[in-house]
Amino acid sequence: MSKRETYESKTEELITPILDRMGFELWDVEYVKEGADYYLRAYIDKPEGITIDDCVDVSRALSDELDSEDFIEDAYILEVSSPGLGRVLKKDKDYERSIGRIVEVKTYKPFDGTREFTGTLKLYDKDTVTIDTDGTERVFARADIAKINLYVEF
């Protein structure tokens, strides 16, 4: 397991009881380097949406746990936020809760002359994702998908 995966996994273990107590749900945890800085980000959600106060409460509780455990070697910036309206689907649980919703699929290579598709998420499995685009079902190999996120209409 890489350092990134270890940090993300351990953070998930620490944040899950906090979120359970508060009635929130964990969307994702990521540990990334951007420029000279490392960021530990936790994305949280609840049915009625996350507020800034929710993020502050979780951040304080998680920060205390992280300080106590002290398993991250590098200096980092902790961020707790909502995954946003156009949230990226990464894990099977993300796909499961998004069945029936409109998604945007961006592929690495063109299919039928385009690399961007919008449609209703119908099915997924470990190898494929199926969306309905205006009555036509399109099946994509997950390996061909560069990014898939919830569609946001402006």
User: Which tens digit of pLDDT belongs to each residue from 15-48?
Assistant: 999 999 999 999 999 999 999 999 999 999 998 8
Asked if the model's pLDDT at residue 119 lies above 90, the reply is: yes
- 10-19: long-range contacts (C-beta < 8 A, 24 or more apart)? 10/69, 10/71, 11/40, 11/42, 11/62, 11/66, 14/62, 14/65, 14/66, 14/69, 15/42, 15/58, 15/62, 15/65, 18/58, 18/61, 18/62, 18/65, 19/44, 19/58
DSSP 88: B
pLDDT value at 118 more than 90: yes
Q: Is the pLDDT assigned to residue 142 strictly greater than 80?
A: yes
Average pLDDT over residues 114-130: 96
As a whole number, the mean pLDDT across the chain is 94
- Most confident segment among 86-95, 101-110, 145-154: 101-110
Render pLDDT for 61-90 as a digit per residue (tens, 0 to 9).
999 999 999 999 999 999 999 988 888 898
Stated length of the chain: 154
* CB of 123 closer than 8 Å to CB of 114: no
Whether 50 and 44 have beta carbons less than 8 Å apart is answered as yes
The pLDDT score that the predictor gives to residue 90 is 86
**Can you list the domains of the chain with their CATH numbers?**
3-81 (3.30.300.70), 92-150 (2.30.30.100)
